[in-house]
Amino acid sequence: MKHKYDVNIFNLFLEAFCELPLAATIGGKIFVTHGGLSSEEDVTLDKIRVIKRGTEPPEGGLFSDLLWSDPQPFPGKMPSKRGVGYSFGPDITANFLENNGLDLLVRSHEVKDEGYLVEHGGKCITIFSAPNYCDSMGNKGAFIHFGRDLVPKFTQFEAVPHPDIRPMAYAQGMGGLMGL
């Protein structure tokens, strides 16, 4: 951002990110967050709702866990290899969903070869929409559509070559693309 635009635009994005919600629910049954679940016991949606936004994420706690935690295939929880957040097992997912009257956790935050991965007995979906992440991973991208029945329908896609346009062409609007 700083390279393509300037520090003011970069700071505006930081401000916007600080105001985004940490999680959302779909149809009262699907919990959506960036990272995952918390190391804390008995986290409720009400506890998540009262987290103060407008600040940078702290180093630990529920706020940080929602952003940076990842699922693991075995039960329990443990500190994340990332150095922030936790790894949480299928038992943690099932407990959170049951305690909050939810059916499904949808999260992102990790490259998946097929663009998504369903785990924890179908209760946790990781969705990743950046195909060929960093131009080096070779992964597909995917997104989920939930209809009225709240059943996930996945759409996968491959990366496409980068357009052969000069850097900053979009900064001039369409005139910049047309060489006007």
3-state helix vs strand vs coil in the chain, percent to 5: 25, 20, 50
Residue span of the structural domain in which 70 resides: 22-160
Structural domain includes residue 136: yes
pLDDT per residue over 83-115, tens digit each? Answer: 888 999 999 999 999 999 999 999 998 999 999
Domains held by the chain: number: 1
- Full-model pTM: 0.85
Helix (H, G, I), strand (E, B) or coil at 79: strand
CATH number for the domain spanning 71: value is: 3.60.21.10
